Each structure stands twice: as C-alpha cells, then as structure tokens.
Structure 1
C-alpha cells in the first residue's frame, strides 16, 4: 500500500485523507514484519549459546562475556537504523526519491566505515575489555577467541542496520524480515558445522556469526542498490552526506547511551541484592525485553509514517498517526502486561525450581505488567520523535531521565531488603520511575508544536 503523502505546490499543510482503518492496516503492514525481524536477531546469540554450551562451562562463560561486548557495541550503533529511516522517510514524503536514496547510500557507507573501525578496535583490545568485565583464565581465553573471530562481522551487522533503515523508510519491512529469518537459520547451520563437524570450537561459532552477518549485509544492500540505480542515485560515498548522517545520528547515540546506562545501573543493583533477586531479574528482564520488541515494532511504524507525513508538510495526518499509534502502543502494552503476569504466575517453575526465586519473579511481574502500558506509550513516542528528527531533544531528556532515575535506583541499592521484596522495589524503580519519567518527558514534547518540523 502506497501511503506516501503528496504536497501541494504552494507547500501548505494538507491531509492525506487516510482513514483510521487504512492507517491501522499500514501500521500493521510495517510493524508485524518488523517484529519478526527484531525477534530473529536474538536467535543468533540463543543458537550460539546452545551450541557453545555443549563445549563446556568455560566456553559458555566466555561466550556470555564476549557477546555482552558485541551486543553492547552493536546496540550503541542502532542510530544507523533509526536516523536512516527518519531521513529517508522525510525525503520520500517531500517527493525527493533520489535524495532519499542518496541519504540512504551515505548511511550504508557510514555503517561500513564505523564497522571497520570497531572491528579493528575489538580485535586489538579484546583481552583488555574482557578483563575489565572480570574474565580470567580459561574464560578469558575463550571469550577473546570468540570476540576476535566474530568481530569481522561488525561491518556487516552495521550495514544491515543502515540498509534496514533505508527499506523501512520506503515502508518495506518485509525484505528485512525475510533476510533476518534466513540469517538466523544460516547462522545455526554454520555454527553447528564449524564448531562440531570441522572442530573449530568456540572460534567456529564466532566465525559463523561473522559470515552470516556479512551475507545478510550483501542481501540487504542489493535491493537498496537496485532502488538507487532505478532513481539515478549515486552509489559512491558523498563526504557531505556521510558527515550529515553522522551528525544526525549523534544525538540518537547519546539517547541510546543513557538507556544503556540505566540498564547497567539496574543490573548492578540486582546483583547487590543477592542471588535470588538477580536470578529473578534475569527472568523478568528477559520477558520485558521480548515485550519491548513487540512495542518497538510499533515504534518503527511510527518512525516511518511520521517521517513521510512531516516531509509532505502534513500536520493533520501527522497528528492522526500520533493518536492511532499511541492507542495501539498503550493497548498492546496492556495486553502484553497481562500476559507477563499470567506467565509469571503459571510458568515460573519452568524457569527455576527454586520457590523463592519463583516468588521474586511473581512479585516483579506484577509491577512490570501493570506498568507495561506506560512502556508502550514511551516506545511509540520514541518512534514518533525519532521519525520527526527530534533526536536532540531525545538526547537531552535522556540525560534528564537518567539523572532522575539514579537516586531511585541508588535508594534501592542501599535500602531495599535482600530477597524477593528487593526485586519488587527494583522494578518499581525501573518500570515505575524510569519509564514513568520517560513517559512524562516525551509526552510533554508532543503537547507542543516544536517537534513537528515540516518539509
């Protein structure tokens, strides 16, 4: 469905005439494939965990630390997808397809450059980084091996992000979905073959991931290059365009950095509360993380559609998209929250046989479930403001959100009791205070006209 708005010749704001039904269909057409692609990515680590886990405890521990470094590095570069989606969508909304594709190509070159630099950095500093995380002995050896063999896949990982952003900007979420699914299957096959059949051990798992990510990058670059050729956009890099991509992505990098800092503070606090809260936190955090994937899929739809309509100077359509996506985000959050509580109270024994940990999971699930509509609201508004190119505001309030969360989580760190109740209070701080503050700061922004920069 082509919902790219058109702009009157006088440049005045106008409405596209999208009905609630057609807009909902468009949102789902973007969100559902995006969700499938998002869920496919964690399968890489899950498959590697299952295969490497059979090698031994030291290998599995090494994988845990190395994958933490790798996923953190890639996670901080998520701006490559978000910024590219917003920029491409805005140019398309303004009817500038060639410019949109040129911006997308520059994003791919930036991703390749950053990927090469990060690959070199991780290969050279792997032992030092892993030692900081506490690795030593055999664990350090295995972690270093995995990180160095998987690091060459970083350019591929980042190009996948940028190319996915371009295609989402064109409201094509299906191609990234199929590539992500095929990549997950290929990674499983390569990892098993290299680790067990060819006897490479943990190095084979890292190499399989690297090969898969490079092939995925090629698979997603081809349709982007085809579009560029069709619309006479140059495939060579443009220095100005790359610098613009870097500048537009920098605020989103800072925003992501503040989120990562909050998550790290939460994990550190969970560790301080004892083994039971930490084990319970792992389960609830995993459930919450998968829920966030579903809500992020709606955020991706919001990014794409908001960018299109603001590019077309369509304030009325933008407000309509805002209302509908917020409704979907809040409703989805309520449904997912109820499921989290249900899972915690019926399936906790599947996660652990320890009744004390089960109780901790159930207490924290109540808070996570009740506050999930707030999380849905926050995810959608993040997508709206990213699609509007309001990254500077998100970067600024990200620091404010972190500053307001820090006293709450430190209070839990110092005063909360060990045991299940401690985990309950930790999730009151994270899901209640942190997500609540984010809801307030993003909600305040959309009450103004400042974020709706048209054209």
Structure 2
C-alpha cells in the first residue's frame, strides 16, 4: 500500500530542498554575465557566448569530482568511519586542484586554437581570447567547488553548499557592474568578476573543510598517495564516457533540428531549455538519493537503502507528474515568454506536449541515476547511457531523410529517456542489488 508519508521523508527533504536551491542558483553566474555584457554590444556578447561553450565543454567531464566523492564520503559517514571520510575529502580536493591546474594550462596554451575551432575569428577573436585567458585562471577553483559540493553532500549537508553558492553569486553580481562599467574594463571585467567569484567559492569550501570544520569532520591534513587517487580517476574515466554520450546525443538533436529548418531549431532550443530547467527540480531528489543510499549501505543497512530508494522513486514520479501537468496547462502561454515569431510559436506549441508528457519519465530516470550513483555502480550507468544514446541516435539520424520534422527530433529524445529507464529498471529489480535487502522482509515504515 502506498503511504503518503514515511519516516524517510524528513531526511529526503532536508537534503533535496537546499540542493534544489543550489541547483537553481548555479546558472545565475552566466545569466548575470550575459545581462551586463549584453549592454556592451554584439561583439562582446558573442565573445562571451563562445567562451561559455568552451568552459562548459572543458569542465563538464570533471563532474565525477562531485559524483564520486558523495557516495564514498556518505558510505564512510554511515559506517561512522570519520577518518575514511576525511581521507576521501582530502583526496578529492587534491585531485581537483591538480586537474584544475592541468585544465588551466591546456586552456591557456591552446586558447587561440580552441577559439578558432569554435568559430571565433576576425574581430571576435581578440576579445574572446582576453576573456578566456583571465577566466581560465579559475580552473582549479571550478573543480574545487565541485569537490566541495560532493564532500558536503556525503556528510548529509546540502545547506552549506547552498550558502557557498549564494556567496559566489553575490560576489559575481557585485563585481560585474563595478568592473565592467565602473572601471571601464568591459568584457575583461566580466571575466575577472567570474574568476574572483569562483575562487571565492573554492576558498569558502577549503576554509570550511580544512580549517573551520576540520576537527569536527575528522579530516587529517596529509598528502594522499597517488595510488589512493586511482579509484577517483577510474570513476572519472567511466563517467566521462557517460557524459560524452549524453551531451553528444543532445548536440545531435540540436544539429538535426538545425537541418530541418531555422524556425525548427529555434523552437527546439526553447523547448530544450525548458526541459533542462525542469530537470533541476528532480535533480534535487537525485542528490538526496546519492547521499542517502550510500549512507545506509555504509551503515550496513541495505534494507533501508532499498526502502529509501523506493520512496525517492515515488516522490520523483509525483514531482514529475506535477511538473508535466503544469507544462500541459501552461503550454498555450509559454511561447509568448520566449518569442513573437509566428512559425517558432507554432512549432513550440507542437512540441510542448513532448516536454509535458516526458516529465514523469525524466523524473524516474534522474532519481534512478542518483540511486545508482549512491550504489557506486558507475560502470553500469555508463554502459546504460551509451546503449541508450545509440538507440536515440538511430532515431535522430532518420529524422531528415524520413521527413519527420521537429516531432521526429523529440521522438529521438523520448527514445533516449525510455531506453535509460528500461536499462536502469532492469538493473534495479535484479536480486542482490541491495545485498541483504533481497532476503529480508520489506521495511514496514519504508513505504
């Protein structure tokens, strides 16, 4: 029988609600930069846009610093092993600093080549190059922030990352107008503001983890051995293939929409952005799944790990249904928020049902991802994503020759998410996934 409340709800909400706030403020740095730089003219705004793509592509593969850190810290936390949790944090921070320095070096050395490859030539190249060289100096900071998020999530604390994220955004919002207009630095000022803000976040996490809360968290300051970093690197390589498969599929969908027509790709871009924004809500539950599943498994309570995973799936499905219903009801008014072009509006209205009806499906997939990350089953996640991406690509490559139009693009995305759900579901129901949970009776309080 489905229960309206369970004893796990308090812990889930305590993690998910602050995590939602953190996820929501995450894109604000780019939005604030865009708002201010847009007043400088077309060329600075274009240079910012090119760099936004460069940094997104350059650092997305390092998300494993959060994904791998959370379950390892949470597992040790669940066992009451403060020393192991502390060692994991130091390892993650060390690796983040090292990889960040490497990323900065590569970006600085190859900056002109990278920007030309992204189409920045002529009058666009010089301002884009200045921006990249300044912002790249924050490479270690970006990765330290990722590791900091992962560490605190593992400690079952999503409030602290929210406060750090708010401080980071406040610094950027304050410095942008001062440096761009007050000091007259223009686009260079925007790059400086972003770099300073990112270092503010990094130093905030370092100060909290290694100074202010070090003793309470049981963190010992000692250099980790290279051998201790290898598990992180293996997870990083595994998750990189997963990330590339996902981003590649989304890029292919955009490319196919562009080949269908200009209005089609415009409508697709708006719909995809709405789709991504709605994903933030469910991603907050995925964060809770990572932390709680790993914590219960670390405490040798697999029955509770399975029970909380079930509850998270139910909550995710409910949230997805609410989001889908909201999009469905609001779909006649949505196009006016983004465009006044008649053709784009017509196409947006045509694909809005896809966005609405996919929300419950998306919710189950995103929460499922969080559960498997809590299980540290990264290899299966990567294989499932690659297989799902291949299935979606098989649909997408037929869109243009078969004349399926923009609807065909979105059927490709439906295929991606449906295959992800099938592959995750097949694994989830396998006996032994939660070890002893398979042979013990269901938790009567677990829903």
The TM-score normalised by the length of structure 1 is 0.91
- List per-residue Cα deviations over 1:175-219 (Å, max 9, x = no partner): 111111121121111121111111111111111111100111111
Q: Does 1:273 align with 2:260?
A: yes
Structure 1 residue 74 displacement after superposition: 2.2
1:238 to 217, 224, 227: 224
Q: In structure 1, the residue corresponding to 2:119 is in which secondary structure?
A: coil
* Number of the residue aligned with 2:412: 429
Structure 1 residue 48 displacement after superposition: 0.7
- List per-residue Cα deviations over 1:364-398 (Å, max 9, x = no partner): 11011101101000000000000110001111122
Q: Is contact 2:290–2:371 with CA below 8 Å preserved after alignment?
A: yes
Q: How many correspondences in the alignment?
A: 432
Distance across 2 between alignment mates of 1:415 and 1:124: 44
* Number of the residue aligned with 1:15: none
* Number of the residue aligned with 1:14: none
Q: Is contact 1:67–1:147 with CA below 8 Å preserved after alignment?
A: no
Q: Is contact 1:87–1:100 with CA below 8 Å preserved after alignment?
A: yes
Q: Name the stretch that deviates more: 246-255 or 294-303.
A: 246-255
Q: In structure 1, the residue corresponding to 2:223 is in which secondary structure?
A: coil
Q: In structure 1, the residue corresponding to 2:398 is in which secondary structure?
A: helix
- List per-residue Cα deviations over 1:243-265 (Å, max 9, x = no partner): 23222333222211211111111
Q: In structure 2, the residue corresponding to 1:79 is in which secondary structure?
A: helix
Distance across 1 between alignment mates of 2:95 and 2:266: 39
Q: Which runs of 4+ in 1 moved over 4 A?
A: none
1:339 to 307, 313, 326: 326
Q: Does 1:414 align with 2:397?
A: no
Q: Is contact 1:98–1:228 with CA below 8 Å preserved after alignment?
A: no
- After TM superposition, the structure 1 = structure 2 runs for residues 237-316 of structure 1, keeping only pairs within 5 Å, are 237-239=223-225, 240-316=227-303
Q: Does 1:444 align with 2:444?
A: no
Distance across 1 between alignment mates of 2:115 and 2:325: 39
Relative to 1, partners in 2 of residues 1:197 and 1:454: Cα closer, same or farther, differing over 3 Å? farther
User: Which ranges of structure 1 fall in alignment gaps of 5 or more residues?
Assistant: 1-18
Distance across 1 between alignment mates of 2:377 and 2:205: 27
Q: Does 1:73 align with 2:72?
A: no
- List per-residue Cα deviations over 1:278-299 (Å, max 9, x = no partner): 1111211111111111111110
Distance across 2 between alignment mates of 1:319 and 1:444: 15
Q: In structure 2, the residue corresponding to 1:339 is in which secondary structure?
A: helix
- After TM superposition, the structure 1 = structure 2 runs for residues 134-173 of structure 1, keeping only pairs within 5 Å, are 134-173=119-158
RMSD value, Cα: 1.7
Distance across 2 between alignment mates of 1:140 and 1:344: 40
- List per-residue Cα deviations over 1:334-362 (Å, max 9, x = no partner): 11122223343113112111121111111
Q: Does 1:221 align with 2:206?
A: yes
Relative to 1, partners in 2 of residues 1:76 and 1:343: Cα closer, same or farther, differing over 3 Å? farther
Relative to 1, partners in 2 of residues 1:211 and 1:451: Cα closer, same or farther, differing over 3 Å? farther
Q: Is contact 1:310–1:453 with CA below 8 Å preserved after alignment?
A: no
Q: In structure 2, the residue corresponding to 1:22 is in which secondary structure?
A: coil
Q: In structure 2, the residue corresponding to 1:238 is in which secondary structure?
A: coil
* Number of the residue aligned with 1:7: none
Structure 1 residue 453 displacement after superposition: 6.0
1:373 to 353, 360, 369: 360
Q: Name the stretch that deviates more: 250-259 or 189-198.
A: 250-259
- List per-residue Cα deviations over 1:394-453 (Å, max 9, x = no partner): 111221112111111111143335xxxx222211211x1001100101111101145436
Relative to 1, partners in 2 of residues 1:191 and 1:449: Cα closer, same or farther, differing over 3 Å? farther
